[in-house]
Structures are given as C-alpha cells and as structure tokens.
Amino acid sequence: MKRTYIPYVADWPALACSESWELVSAEVENATKKFPKWPTDPLHALAILGEEFGELTKEVVQMIYEPNKTSTAKIREEAIQTAAMAIRFVMSLDSYCYLQAP
C-alpha cells in the first residue's frame, strides 16, 4: 500500500503559512465582533461550521463545472471563513455542554 505524505506545518513555506494565518486570524476576529455569541452545544456550533463548509464546497464545484460563475478569490474567501469557524469550534471545545439526548 502506497502512503501519501501529508506535510506538517513546519514543512510549509513560512510566508504562505503566515499570510494564510493572518487572513484566518483576522476573519476570526471579525466574525467574533459581528457574532459575539457562539453556541454552547457542539451540534449547533458544528452546524455553523458545516454551513461555511457547504459554501466552500459550492464554490469549488462551480469552479469545476461552471467556472464563469465563480473565481479562485471567492474560493479563498470561503476557505478562510471555513477555517475561521473551525477555529471558533476548537476554541469552544472545553465549554460545550455535551448533554445526552433523551
């Protein structure tokens, strides 16, 4: 079985990583200011992340099948927003109420 190499962050070009992190970090800050409340249960928080991932998926699919309707700039924007919501999700892991369903 052939193994696929998945690079560690330390292997990435520092400039690209820092630029990406700056964009994602700024998006986390903007989103937190615009929507300061974040769900206290993981399912609702995951739904927010899923919604952003869905928008990213739509843009990528459009780039493949209808490239005249989107751009790499829109894909980048959605990827940054998805990453920001993933970070908000992770930041709240210790504060979620994991209540068992009845």
In a domain, residue 2? The reply is no
Q: How confident is the model at residue 1 (pLDDT cuts 50, 70, 90)?
A: very low
At 2 the pLDDT is 52
Query: Lowest-confidence range among 6-15, 32-41, 69-78?
Result: 6-15
Please give the tally of structural domains in the chain.
1
Helix, strand, or coil here: 36?
coil
Residue 24 counted as domain residue: yes
User: What per-residue confidence (pLDDT) applies to 27?
Assistant: 96
**What's the pLDDT at 20?**
86
6 in any annotated domain: no
Which residues constitute the domain of residue 43? Answer: 15-95
**Does residue 53 fall inside a structural domain?**
yes
The string of pLDDT tens digits covering residues 31-73 is 999 999 999 999 999 999 999 999 999 999 999 999 999 999 9
Q: Encode 27-65: b = buried (16+ Cβ within 10 Å), e = exposed.
A: bbeebeeeeeebbeebeebeebbeebbebbeebeebbee
Mean pLDDT over each residue of the chain, to the nearest integer: 88
How many Å apart are CA 84 and CA 22, to the nearest integer? 11
